[in-house]
Chains A and B, each alone.
Chain A
Amino acid sequence: MPEAQDLMPLLKEALAKYTDAPLDQLGPETRFADINIDSLTMAELLFELEDRLGTTLDNTEEIPSTVGEVLALIAQHSPKSAS
């Protein structure tokens, strides 16, 4: 299972499609609400990450609210191992 941190570049690339907010200071503690990502956009973002990773993110009980939570989620479901 890849480390959550290794997936940060992938997440940043995906996020860039959905927000104009600067992403250079992005860290695990960054809240999506602070970078103009609302719940609708989050749903779309997760869908796009599924596409990029070739996986399915099971219905999560809680919508991730921070970058760290998303990284953990996709690390958990990613079929690829970190090189």
Chain B
Amino acid sequence: MNHRVAITGLGLVCSQGQDPQAVFEQWCAGQSGIDAHTLGSDAHQLTAAYSLCSDFDAAATLGKTALTTLDRTSQLSVCAAADAWSAAGLAQHCPYDKDEAAVLWGTGAAGGATLDKGYRELFLKNRARISPLSVVLGMHNAAAAQIAMRLGLGGACLTYSVACASSAVAIGEAFWRVRSGQTPVAIAGGGEGQLPYGLLKAWESMHIMAPAALGAQACQPFAAERKGLVLGEGAAALVLEDWESARARGATIHAELIGYASTCDHHHLTQPQAQGQIRALHQVLRQAQLQPQDIDYINAHGTATPEGDPTEIASLRAVLGEHAPRTLISSTKSMHGHLLGAAGALEVLVCALALQNQCAPPTAHLGTIAPDCEGLDHVRGQARQQAMEVALCNSFAFGGSNAVLALRRAA
């Protein structure tokens, strides 16, 4: 028997703040959290358009003692997850056996900053050793482990590393566990700390990043003038819960998760291919028993790369058919940037709030739509306030992994 899956708590740390509803309203107003920032350390710095959590004070939230064993990615992750758990009312009173509560978390680079620091010690300063905490701060499962420790959760504690689809996959896999009855409650999401110099140079060398000179408007998905993606740091967490249990305890339900599909293009390491995306979209529609005309809003992967945007639009047009021109679409990466391992979770959070508020946020800075990105109802300028029942969230990653999640308005 399938259980319905409720989203009962949201947690967020991003460049524009930590209050999900307040930040959502900024996105609806088209406000960008992106800016030109100087990143890196010591003699190795570069300036890039980036979405930086400049106001995030980890010590104030977590205490100085805890910071010793938390890389930036883990700091962001623990704060978002703790906020979501508390927002769901579970910090105050948890009716579930916490040993059955799962943590499913996504990250791309995990504790890369810790490793970068260690390498600088070894190779630049010729130190004989590096920090004894390097392994436990740098390991990919550090954030998930820290979340489980902080909240006392004893179920499956898993980390998914699927590039840009990491946290969408984490949420999807958590969805399956709650839906099947395997676990009554799960924290799912993702975190990505500010990339260290080495990783930033790695991204820069692919020539797909928008120029820093464009500042807040650097990320322009679907625009004819789009110049590439803008990276960012942050974390987003959702509490997924068995619907009936959530209702019974009077929890606020932001939205219902109704479907998840994951496919692989098996085509190219960086170039997306429509067939893989189309299969994922079809799968999620079948699973959630939806018809193309049932989709009201799509939060696109929309990274503003030359190839990615038109491929996604082509996939959506193929699946939506004659209903495409009436389907709302936006890429909120235009405002919060591409949070890599945390991107999927952040964008599912956007969808949940869009359905709760009955308001689709825009793609910011969308002047002229590129001809190969036409065909859907692009939300631009201000948000579109209208009745919406179903939203889709797309994550299409390097390596060809695709993850699509479907949400329904809580009713």
Contacts and interface: CB of A to CB of B under 8 A. Distances in A.
Interface in A24-81: 36-37, 40-41, 43-44, 47, 56
Nearest to A18: B68
B128 A56 contact: yes
Contacts of B128: 56
B68 A20 contact: no
Contacts of A18: 64-65, 68
B283 to A, nearest CB: 44
Nearest to B63: A20
Given A19-B64, A20-B64, A47 B69 contact: no
A41 B64 CA distance: 12
Contact of B133 (A17, A19, A36, A44): A44
A41 B131 contact: no
A20 B136 CA distance: 21
Give chain A's interface secondary structure class.
Answer: loop
B44 interface: no
A17 B64 CA distance: 7
Contacts, number: 31
Contacts of A56: 128
A40 B128 CA distance: 19
B48 to A, nearest CB: 29
A19 B65 contact: yes
B129 interface: yes
A40 B136 CA distance: 10
A61 to B, nearest CB: 16
A14 to B, nearest CB: 12
Give chain B's interface secondary structure class.
Answer: loop
Contacts of A43: 132-133
Contacts of B65: 18-21, 36-37, 41
Contacts of B63: 20
Interface in B245-265: none
A44 B132 contact: yes
B129 to A, nearest CB: 7
A44 B133 CA distance: 7
A79 to B, nearest CB: 15
B64 A47 contact: no
Contacts of A19: 64-65
Interface in B301-326: none
A40 B64 contact: no
Contacts of A44: 68, 131-133
Nearest to A47: B131
Contacts of B69: 40-41
Nearest to B136: A40
A46 B132 CA distance: 10
Nearest to B130: A47
Interface string B59-90: 00001110011000000000000000000000
A40 B68 contact: yes
A18 B136 CA distance: 16
14 contacts: A17-B64, A17-B68, A18-B68, A19-B65, A20-B65, A36-B65, A37-B65, A41-B68, A41-B69, A43-B132, A44-B131, A44-B132, A44-B133, A47-B132
Given A17-B68, A20-B63, A21-B65, 19 more contacts: A17-B64, A18-B64, A18-B65, A18-B68, A19-B64, A20-B65, A36-B65, A37-B65, A40-B68, A40-B69, A40-B132, A40-B133, A41-B65, A41-B69, A43-B132, A43-B133, A44-B68, A47-B129, A56-B128
Interface of A: 17-21, 36-37, 40-41, 43-44, 47, 56
Interface of B: 63-65, 68-69, 128-129, 131-133, 136
